[in-house]
Structure 1
């Protein structure tokens, strides 16, 4: 057996052709080195990929609280070594007392930030129920073994980097404004690199979850803390909401692209549909990242994005509440019809792009990828929505609540925090899951496990996953090189191509502007964490250098 390895992606994005961590048997890639180390330790104990994923999830709730969570939700995509596929929806739900007009004033106008910050911004958390459901179906080690590492991280504390210290200093004012009791574990000092963050209330909450599994969160003292916080802050999550929450096993979406099988998440995630629509369209084109042809690829990619995000606004929602036309949206003839207006020399104005006529129908998140020695794989993306969620810390329980209600269409045609427009299909309803962009995805090649991939990033999630897949399959990159590659993003509205600093090499800007595109530089796009099987059967990690993401393997 190889020596145990831990590798953090600290290389610059300018490095090309580099390799990520290579391992022979198993790999974990997550947003924080301590969480990846926890997952690796579970695998070394003989746990499987789901065991490790559960442990990583709880660890991220401690060491990466702006996105890792027990106060939010997410999605699992699982491939077992017998080539069976599973997906688990533990997305948050609208509280039972929610309604379509809850964020509108008496004139029907959106009340600024009401769906973004404070107690009314939170959906009913699904993360803990999701971890329990996954464990009940696939877990192999003792539940206590999976939660205990996170308890120790919370109780003993962990050392902050400079970036982490600055993150908590920036969050102090919002935590104090929106939490009913000052969360002094976060706000009680000015943080500096090297300080140790101890979260004793969170340690006790995790202990309740360790000892009582689901009931340790949705009942008992932790549930009381949540409801008391809601009552003090004017929120609407109740004991009934918590007791009735259920995550749901769903059929994953399955697609194909040039000999690769794509296993991804279906509604209420829009991400899987988006990448399958884009890959289903692009298979009819010859693309390259060489010279001026890369700009032509980016033009093609942008035109696809405008069309699929228009479809997203019109047709995608929680399929338990709205009949999402999945087969029609992925129909080959429909995709061809959607692209008849494509001009390789000219951008299509978004005003001219609407949802298609169906043929048969009349940024804060985190992702981790796991492969175990038995050949099982997990892609898991979880979220609080915005960084630090609603900025409400549950007094007595020590965790941050999500602000996922903003992912509903709080008013048709009104953009959410990521600028994505929504329609009637995704309106607020009691018990409904809000539409998501999360895109945990697994690929096979020649029947074998090939890639595990996903990212945070709000509306940029599907396009970042798409770009990473294309970098490997079409452009021949290794996993780390594909993750490092500069990213571009567009959607239906706003009508702009966003790009990372340093992405406009050669004549890219000149060519795209000549085609009628507007370009806008922005901060980093996504934080992809992925795993790729190499030709010799070993695994290569891609840990995103845009964060402190890290890989661990053996």
Structure 2
């Protein structure tokens, strides 16, 4: 006997039948159906690098706070729970899209102190002094994170400032249980902490840190109390500023009280471009990330990536060739627009991008030595963290923030309990000499007082059909740009869910050095042999980036992607 399953006459049976179908679909892969038990949420979502910080952000959303309120609380919570990258002693960028589609970006990047100069890291012979721009008091730019959060809250926040800072105070004073990843990072940095911080005992203990240990930071709690009670002045003036300047004097650093008082973050118009039917909203200079991302997307747009497939040899070769050309342009043309005329329009002109790709041949890899920055008429001469947040009104925030290296300069402000950045290394200490990430720079990114150093941070928001589609970003130094680029392609071209897209293996090339780094097991042996046979030098690497992203599905739910390479966590409601 045969049964027609679509002709069930009994109403009760019909109800049970469709209930079974519905709940079966509810267990499908992320991106297939907008239900809470598949990791998708309607009212809001936070994806960031540490679970305690994600919980802080979610709590703020549930209290009626918007995406910016949650972002402020997460930023300060990450200072406590992710000391290797979360910070009040560093800076970053925010890309904002309101629920009605209006956009804005906030530049709270660090600045060179007034006493900074172009030759400050060179010896008498004109050679770069090793590690001077990395692990000394002179390595620190004027911090921007606190001012950035104050400005973001002033313009867009809903909840009281004190309520957004208090969770960081609680985490600092009461402590939190550390993860296996954080224990490993603290132990690896312990010797350098002790060497660079005589008389201080921040983030060190007798014996090794273990998963589940309680980390208490009382001095940091006192600093946050000043920020809670006095806002901007709680960091850039008063007792905290005094402690920071005293620390500078102790180590012959450059930051003064005047540098702190004169620091201000800057609102800048978002950099906007298109990839097929998608609108890309990203960060303008002094981030190099936005321009580079738009160049990369336009470089590959004419090619059939969807047909070739994820991480296939043709896909990898095309992307690598585009990356080499874009990073060559970065080395010459990008810097702080307040100090240097960045040729944004020329770099993003479709005809220019197409001309750059004309030198690409399928016959063999293009040697980096044969690639130079492009030219056009009229031109005048890995530790960071990211978080993505959306709220129930559709407001979206993409923020990438950094100390530069893991734990920044590794130097703490005595009495205040926070780490100093080593962002001065992101300037070009000498034309043609690579920084810690192997990036080459020149005049556009030379050291000057009050100037913001060039960055690779690429916080980005994507629209489709005029509606919010994706919020994305990552840490990773020079690999930030390529990780964001590949994550976007993973979703748009390779039909991956948000979680799959951030977890997928990545690769990276940046012009110099002339190599392609690929995550371990990122390609099969056949593809690897094809790449090598065409002249690509392949270098294996353990991990690239830690992407945290959110997508709004066609069903109207938020689906998060938390990178499994770290403690990254997604929470929603």
Specify the TM-score bucket, using the shorter chain as the normaliser. Answer: over 0.9
Local SS of the residue matching 2:320: helix
| Residue of structure 2 in register with 1:465 after alignment | 484
- The aligned runs of 1:472-551 (5 Å cut-off) are 472-505=491-524, 507-551=526-570
Contact 1:454 1:529 in 2 (8 A): yes
Tell me: CA distance 1:18–1:84, structure 2 relative to 1, closer, same or farther (3 Å).
Answer: closer
Shift of 1:293: 7.9
- The aligned runs of 1:181-260 (5 Å cut-off) are 181-187=199-205, 189-260=207-278
- Say yes or no: does 1:408 pair with 2:427: yes
Output the aligned Cα RMSD. 1.4
- Say yes or no: does 1:262 pair with 2:262: no
Contact 1:180 1:229 in 2 (8 A): no
| Residue of structure 2 in register with 1:342 after alignment | 360
Local SS of the residue matching 1:288: helix
Tell me: CA distance 1:228–1:289, structure 2 relative to 1, closer, same or farther (3 Å).
Answer: farther
Shift of 1:491: 0.6
- Say yes or no: does 1:100 pair with 2:100: no
Tell me: CA distance 1:85–1:380, structure 2 relative to 1, closer, same or farther (3 Å).
Answer: same
Local SS of the residue matching 1:451: strand
Provide TM-score, normalisation by structure 2: 0.92
CA distance in 2, matches of 1:208, 1:488: 43
| Residue of structure 2 in register with 1:11 after alignment | none
**Larger CA deviation: 505-514 vs 56-65:** 505-514
Tell me: CA distance 1:24–1:112, structure 2 relative to 1, closer, same or farther (3 Å).
Answer: same
Query: Which residue, out of 268, 288, 292, partners 2:306?
Result: 288
CA distance in 1, matches of 2:425, 2:203: 27
Local SS of the residue matching 1:507: helix
Contact 2:202 2:412 in 1 (8 A): no
| Residue of structure 2 in register with 1:421 after alignment | 440
CA distance in 1, matches of 2:203, 2:512: 40
Q: How many residues align?
A: 539
User: Please, which runs of 5 or more residues in structure 1 have no aligned partner?
Assistant: 1-15
Contact 1:179 1:394 in 2 (8 A): no
Contact 1:51 1:141 in 2 (8 A): yes
Tell me: CA distance 1:456–1:79, structure 2 relative to 1, closer, same or farther (3 Å).
Answer: same
Local SS of the residue matching 2:312: helix
Shift of 1:183: 2.7
- Say yes or no: does 1:446 pair with 2:465: yes
Tell me: CA distance 1:135–1:343, structure 2 relative to 1, closer, same or farther (3 Å).
Answer: same
CA distance in 2, matches of 1:551, 1:443: 19
Shift of 1:289: 6.8
Contact 1:77 1:252 in 2 (8 A): yes
| Residue of structure 1 in register with 2:417 after alignment | 398
- The aligned runs of 1:84-95 (5 Å cut-off) are 84-95=102-113
Instruction: Report Cα offsets for 1:44-66 as digits up to 9, x if no partner.
Output: 01111000000000000000010
| Residue of structure 2 in register with 1:13 after alignment | none
- Say yes or no: does 1:62 pair with 2:62: no
CA distance in 1, matches of 2:186, 2:195: 14
Shift of 1:22: 1.2
Instruction: Report Cα offsets for 1:372-427 as digits up to 9, x if no partner.
Output: 00010000000000000001010000000100000000000010110111111101
Provide TM-score, normalisation by structure 1: 0.95
- Say yes or no: does 1:387 pair with 2:394: no
CA distance in 1, matches of 2:570, 2:310: 34
- Say yes or no: does 1:123 pair with 2:141: yes
Local SS of the residue matching 2:401: strand
Query: Which residue, out of 432, 443, 450, partners 2:451?
Result: 432
CA distance in 2, matches of 1:537, 1:112: 52
| Residue of structure 1 in register with 2:392 after alignment | 373
CA distance in 1, matches of 2:330, 2:389: 29
Structure 1 segments (4+ residues) deviating >4 Å = 16-20, 289-293
User: Per chain length, whose mean CA-contact separation is higher, i.e. which structure has more relative contact order (CA < 8 Å, sep 6+)?
Assistant: 1
Local SS of the residue matching 1:385: coil
| Residue of structure 2 in register with 1:12 after alignment | none
Shift of 1:270: 0.2
| Residue of structure 2 in register with 1:298 after alignment | 316
| Residue of structure 2 in register with 1:42 after alignment | 60
Instruction: Report Cα offsets for 1:461-507 as digits up to 9, x if no partner.
Output: 00000000000111111100111110000011011110111112252
Instruction: Report Cα offsets for 1:193-252 as digits up to 9, x if no partner.
Output: 221000000000001000000000000000000000010111111101101001000011
CA distance in 2, matches of 1:471, 1:345: 26
Higher CA-based Rg: 2
CA distance in 2, matches of 1:505, 1:539: 33
CA distance in 2, matches of 1:535, 1:360: 44
CA distance in 1, matches of 2:169, 2:295: 42
| Residue of structure 2 in register with 1:114 after alignment | 132
Instruction: Report Cα offsets for 1:76-132 as digits up to 9, x if no partner.
Output: 000001111000000000010000000000000010000011201110000000000
**Larger CA deviation: 340-349 vs 174-183:** 174-183
Contact 1:169 1:187 in 2 (8 A): no
